[in-house]
Amino acid sequence: MGVIADFTVGTEDFALGATAEGGTELTIEVEPIVPASDDVFPYVWVTGNPDEFEQGLEACEYAKTYDFVERIGERRLYRITWHEGIHDLLACFVETNGTILRARGGNGWRFTVRFPDDASVSKFHSMCQERDVHLDLHRLTHVEEGTDSAADEYGLTPEQREALMHAVKTGYFSIPRQSTLDDIAEQFDISNQAASERIRRATEKVLRQALVDQVDAIAEHP
């Protein structure tokens, strides 16, 4: 049985943290990847001042080289090559076979990671303690092997995910709307009310998880 962990770490505990430290308008998103070597985070998306990010990389003791790949809107994609012997959070991911589902950083870093089992989670926690990496754990979720990681990540039931995917594919959220609740209800042989509740609950779960940092900030500073 796999385990999905949602946690935060400070910028000082992560190799990429220094690149965003002090940059209030700088946001970094790691391209999801299954760690297989020290080159665990080769691609990152950057929103904000690229000069600030590049200066931070040049000052990072673990970053060997970096290359600008492409720009899409306000986001820039970089490829990073790391020095051997990484000792911080990166090494912990490599040693415990953690699959990165989401990683986003600015003044702090928030991760959603899937581990193979409880033993891997315990090993990850022990390695972080040995390296003085402080984890602030928000949630642990046990999931069956072979299930959809995306659905697990957002906490959706199979029925909610299926209904939400159908709504997206048929244009329920399009402008102008191309399908209706009646269409969704008929597709899954449920009532209009049940279809509405399923879509609304699934949408709320996805939005809350996708915007989790902002939701937490609002809750802490209403």
How confident is the model over 28-80, as pLDDT tens digits?
Answer: 887 765 554 445 667 888 888 888 888 888 887 778 889 999 988 888 999 88
pLDDT mean across residues, the chain? 79
What pLDDT digit, counting tens, does each position of 120-152 carry? 999 999 999 888 888 888 888 877 665 555 555
Task: Considering the chain, tell me which residue range(s) the CATH 1.10.10 domain(s) occupy.
Answer: 156-220
Note the pLDDT of residue 207: 80
pLDDT of the residue at 182: 93
**Where does the pLDDT of residue 194 fall: very low under 50, low under 70, confident under 90, or very high at 90 and above?**
very high
Provide mean pLDDT across the span 109-117.
86
Residues 83 and 134: beta-carbon distance below 8 Å: no
Residue 153 has pLDDT above 80, yes or no: no
pTM: 0.60
Cα–Cα dist 102/100, whole Å: 6
Identify the three-state secondary structure at position 114: strand
Q: Tell which CATH architecture fits domain 156-220.
A: Orthogonal Bundle (1.10)
The answer to whether residue 206 scores a pLDDT higher than 70 is yes
- Whether residue 163 contacts residue 20, with contact meaning beta carbons closer than 8 Å, is answered with no
pLDDT band for position 119 (cuts 50, 70, 90): very high
- Return all residues near 195 (Cβ < 8 A) that are at least 6 apart: 163, 181, 184, 185, 188
> What's the confidence (pLDDT) of residue 180?
92
Give pLDDT, residue 72: 86
pLDDT of residue 42: 76
Distance CA 46, CA 49 (A): 8
Which residues, other chains included, contact 159 with Cβ-Cβ below 8 Å and sequence gap of 6+? 188, 198
- What is the pLDDT at residue 217? 44
pLDDT for 146 equals 53
